[in-house]
Chains A and B, each alone.
Chain A
Amino acid sequence: MTTTAQLLQQKKKSILENWMKNQLSDQGLRDDLISNNDLTQQSEELLTGLGHAMASGNVDNIYAVEYEPVTEILADISVTRARQGFSPRETGLYVLSLKQAIADTLEQELSDQPVQLYKEVMTMNRLLDSLSVITFETYIKGREEVIVRQTDEISEISTPVIRVWEGILALPIIGTLDSARTQVVMENLLQEIVNTGSNIAILDISGVPAVDSLVAQHLIKTVSATRLMGAECIISGVRAEIAQTIVHLGIDLSNIKTKATLASALQLAFSMNRIEVKSQSRSANFGLKR
């Protein structure tokens, strides 16, 4: 059993106090995100785990079985912190401030044996550095999970298929069209065509910031697939700058029906389905209102 491990067992209380003091005195302490009690509890758990692990004599390999509880606690803490919105600095400092606390205690205990002190501090440094790397890894993993979830949510929300009329569907596309989103858009649209038995789909691209050859390719694919299903596709919301880019890029949209606004696309859809929409005369309006 190394001296640090013994110290951790014997002086746990004072190390914990020291550590808590370090954490609490830090400028970046987020007492709005985590209460001091919780923080103390978390820290104590970690310190106990670390003490047990080091007591086994292993101070190098943090992937060994003894360190499993410690890494688990750390992973748990950093994932929670990532979700709660802690900054990377705050999460990193959590482990690094423990280093300072242990070093202080070691210094007090071994002030008369400089060689031993140096060795112990170095060992402890190495160990805590690997632990903080783990903290960081899991922190980033946690953040990435959040990002992936949000991306999924955005692509879920951003492709609604609206039934505007008997047999007419509209699909407003907002944001950039990449391959993955085109796939989602296409699947949603085709499924909705089957579900509702619609024969016209209006793709509104007024929310698409820019159309390049790839986006145009995706649009053409969607239109072709719709046509194969037995429905017609109208593209609406073509802005002036989009028309310019399309022509400059030499993209051929001649066999696709395009309209400037959703209103004119709807009008075209009406006439294709032989539907007539009339505005009522004034007197008839009054008659309805009673």
Chain B
Amino acid sequence: MERIPILKMGPFLLVTIQVDLYDRLALSLENDLINMVSRTGARGVLIDISAVSIVDSFMGRILGNIASMSRIMDAETVVVGMQPAVAITLVELGLTLQGVYTALDVEKGMVLLQDKIGFDQLQEQDEEEEPDDRTE
């Protein structure tokens, strides 16, 4: 059976989805990824979906699941490179992927992950940056 490769880059795992995800492939990806997180003790997971042009509610849920599971295992998930059409579809389906970090491309996603991990190590809250408006 076809499998999606999971690459290890330092403390992060990199997944590039180059094919359209069908249900079983998505499920096996979820399974493999979580096993990989537990085996390597990765601190972050980066999923590149820039080549995915079709998405359904199941796929949206899988992405959300991966993020929740990773968070329990102490790894942040960043989804990068979502196509405009895919984003519109997910919003219309009501799946806004709360709790999943997003970035425009792999590079920015890596920076984001590094920031998150850095914050973590500094024992700071890893919430989204909220600059203070009172400094205006």
Q: Which residues of A contact B (CB under 8 A)?
A: 183, 186-187, 190-191, 193-194, 197-199, 221, 224-231, 259, 264, 267-268, 271-272
Contacts and interface: CB of A to CB of B under 8 A. Distances in A.
Contact of B133 (A186, A230, A264): A264
A231 B80 CA distance: 10
Nearest to B131: A271
B15 interface: no
B82 A228 contact: yes
Contact of B136 (A187, A224, A227, A267): A267
18 contacts: A190-B84, A190-B87, A194-B83, A199-B103, A199-B104, A199-B108, A221-B92, A228-B82, A228-B86, A228-B91, A229-B82, A229-B87, A230-B80, A230-B81, A230-B103, A230-B105, A230-B109, A271-B131
A227 B102 contact: yes
A259 B135 CA distance: 14
Interface string B52-83: 00000000000000000000000000011111
A230 B84 contact: no
A180 to B, nearest CB: 14
Sort chain B's interface into a size bin.
Answer: 20 to 34
Interface of B: 79-84, 86-88, 90-92, 96-97, 102-105, 108-109, 129, 131, 133, 135-136
B88 A186 contact: yes
Contacts of B105: 197, 230
Contacts of A199: 103-104, 108
Given A198-B104, A221-B92, 16 more contacts: A187-B88, A190-B84, A193-B104, A194-B104, A197-B105, A199-B104, A224-B91, A225-B84, A227-B96, A228-B96, A229-B82, A229-B87, A230-B82, A259-B133, A267-B136, A268-B131
Nearest to B90: A228
A190 B109 contact: no
Contacts of A186: 88
B103 to A, nearest CB: 4
A226 B88 CA distance: 9
B88 A230 contact: no
Contact of A264 (B83, B104, B136): B136
A161 to B, nearest CB: 12
A226 B108 CA distance: 15
Q: Which of B81, B87, B129, B133 has the most CB of A within 10 A?
A: B87
A190 B88 contact: yes
Contact of A229 (B92, B104, B129): B104
A272 B103 CA distance: 14
Contacts of A225: 84, 87-88, 90-91
A272 B131 contact: yes
A126 to B, nearest CB: 53
Contacts of B91: 221, 224-225, 228
9 tightest Cβ-Cβ pairs between the two chains A and B:
A190-B84, A230-B102, A230-B103, A228-B87, A224-B96, A225-B87, A230-B104, A271-B131, A225-B91
Contacts of A221: 91-92
